[in-house]
Chain A
Amino acid sequence: MEKAEEKVDWYKLSLKLHRFYAGKMETMPKVPVRSLEDFAIWYTPGVAEPSRAIASDPDESFELTSRWNTIAVVSDGTRVLGLGRIGPEAAYPVMEGKALIFKYLGGVDAVPLVHRVRDLEGWISLLKAIEPSFGGINLEDIESPKCFALLDRAREELEIPVWHDDQQGTAAATLAGLINAFKLVGKDMAKSRIVLFGAGAANIALYRLLKVWGVPPGNIVVIDSKGVLHPHRDDIDKLMINNPWKYRIALETGGGWLRAGDGIEKALEGADALVAASRPGPGVIKKEWVAKMAKDAIVFAEANPVPEIWPWEAKEAGARIVATGRSDLPNQVNNSLVFPAVFRGVLDVRAKTITDEMAIEAAVEIARYAEERGLSEDYIIPKMEEWHLYPRVAAAVAVKAVEQGVARKTTTYKEELERAEEIIRRSREKHDLMWEKGLIERPPEDHS
């Protein structure tokens, strides 16, 4: 077990460096200020003309301002990482970290926006109120089931893409891994039995993507803390009112091949794949259960910081492919592969939304990228360091947006690939140059 333990005390180091830098992001000009006279261009009186242009055509705000490349990372701090309801101020460092990844990996300018609104209607008014400032919204760390209603409503009512990373990001990364895992074991995902353990944001979104992908609902079993989601479950009518998303899954899947009252152990008998997104392990998923799965079983144990079952335990029990959420283990299912690229793509074509088909397209492109590099049991999904992945995914998503008629601008795969590559490269180069020049301060003890 020790082999996966961290050597560095990330918590201690992180607090120290957060105190030293006092924030991870700042705003920077992107236009020349050759003399103070230039302010007559960038500000009054000149700026009145772009304002007039936008007043007569609000879509011009995407062309004449930074709106096209700026998104908000919005959270109420009700479900932050594994920490729970720690409040908006405490959520800020997480949102700022997300903004850093958006910028470095996707060239996307992201603004952390934490707030005190808790109720759904208030949330919707807030998002609609800030919509004119942004080209997109990334929702983050919001409690379930509020997050489902929020995403559904926001997608309906806003004219810019709204993405909830804990749902769509995790689901798309998982789908990418599953596509390649099934390829490797030579099974057809649409004809396989798939068990989703945990019915929170990630797995409920994954269920939806699997359905759109073509897996019949009856081949999927979803299990929450009370057992399989099943139409004959005692609390099914209560679910209809309190968690209609789980309720619909129960009705659509019919409980898969199980009976009401069955649990995870029964569900895994003969199952081809397990995706656990539940609570930190180890020991949440037992070896004996994995041993009852079908031949060449696929096990994704995504809880952090400790997966529901350690990969070596799953393998000893007969699993052939294992993925986790950890960067120090093979096959990391990592949202960071998805969200910077998805937003790069949708921002570049001024998309109005991100459809499930676009999320699936991102997953397919990520899977294809890994496949081109040679799949193996320890490489079913690319790593964050493979930065050429991001423009590829951006291009795939952008083209899909155009195809589906949700983009304000048209593009081709090649054109977006080049554009995204250029934007992302420039973003990284700016950072690297500031680091080399000492404009990004050296930390007290250099850990670079």
Chain B
Amino acid sequence: MYEPGLYVRPASEKDLERLARLIYRFYSFNEEFDPAWALDEDAEAIARELAGEYIGSDDLVLVAEYDNEVVGYIRIVVVENRILASKRLGVIKELYVLPPFRGRGIASRLIAEAQERLGDMGVKHISAEFPAANYVAERFYRALSFRPYLSMYLREV
């Protein structure tokens, strides 16, 4: 089912440069969907800082390595709400695969690996955030049996 030569592992210091690039591309892409996603003019430099912060944080950050090259990543934040029976929820905040490597199940593989780790942590649910107008993401998650769970609305202050 999955591409041979594909390897998913937690992000580490050696991935800094590549991860920064992927983070930047992820946010540049989202810019398309709503003015509220517009990037800071120093976004590229900030993406580097973020990459450094992600690595070694409590977030679950995995990278997909293909032919010894990092071609995609996923970042999941676990949020707690103790009034809910499920207590903890894994939220996919960022997911990106470089275009030349799409259509090979890499994103699904990143999610599958992340889900396994979440399961080990006792997390019962995994959710995904993406811009409301991103119909490609919507189709993708629906195909992986995700269902609509939370709506988020926005307006200018």
Contact = CB atoms under 8 A, between A and B. Distances in A.
Interface of A: 231-232, 236-238, 240-241, 244, 250-251, 254
A13 B100 CA distance: 53
B135 A254 contact: no
Nearest to A254: B100
Contacts of A231: 98-100
A424 to B, nearest CB: 45
B136 interface: yes
Contacts of A232: 99-100
B29 interface: yes
B100 A237 contact: no
A236 to B, nearest CB: 5
B136 A241 contact: yes
Given A236-B99, A241-B135, 20 more contacts: A231-B98, A231-B99, A237-B25, A237-B28, A237-B29, A237-B32, A237-B99, A238-B29, A238-B32, A240-B99, A240-B136, A241-B32, A241-B133, A244-B136, A250-B99, A251-B99, A251-B100, A251-B102, A251-B103, A254-B100
Interface string B23-57: 00100110011000000000000000000000000
Interface in B105-157: 133-136
Interface of B: 25, 28-29, 32-33, 98-100, 102-103, 133-136
B100 A241 contact: no
A296 B52 CA distance: 56
Contacts of A251: 99-100, 102-103
Nearest to B135: A241
Contacts of A240: 99, 136
Nearest to A250: B99
A1 B41 CA distance: 51
A220 to B, nearest CB: 16
Contacts of A237: 25, 28-29, 32, 99
A161 B52 CA distance: 56
Contacts of B28: 237
Nearest to A255: B100
A241 B99 CA distance: 13
21 contacts: A231-B98, A231-B99, A231-B100, A232-B99, A232-B100, A237-B25, A237-B28, A237-B29, A237-B32, A238-B29, A240-B99, A241-B32, A241-B133, A241-B134, A241-B136, A244-B136, A250-B99, A251-B99, A251-B100, A251-B103, A254-B100
B136 to A, nearest CB: 6
Nearest to B29: A237
A145 to B, nearest CB: 14
A238 B25 CA distance: 11
A240 B136 CA distance: 8
Nearest to A237: B29
Contacts of B134: 241
Contacts of A241: 32-33, 133-136
A383 to B, nearest CB: 43
Contacts of A238: 29, 32
A240 B29 CA distance: 10
A40 to B, nearest CB: 56
Nearest to A236: B99
B140 to A, nearest CB: 11
Nearest to B26: A237
A254 B100 CA distance: 7
Contacts of A244: 136
Contacts of B32: 237-238, 241
A241 B136 CA distance: 7
A115 to B, nearest CB: 26
Contacts of B98: 231
A237 B54 CA distance: 24
Contacts of B102: 251
Nearest to B33: A241
A241 B98 CA distance: 15
B106 to A, nearest CB: 13
Contacts of B100: 231-232, 251, 254
A241 B33 CA distance: 9
Contacts of A254: 100
Nearest to B134: A241
A254 B29 CA distance: 20
A231 B99 CA distance: 5
Nearest to B25: A237
A261 to B, nearest CB: 15
A388 to B, nearest CB: 45
Contacts of B99: 231-232, 236-237, 240, 250-251
Of B33, B102, B103, B135, most buried by chain A (CB within 10 Å of CB) is B102
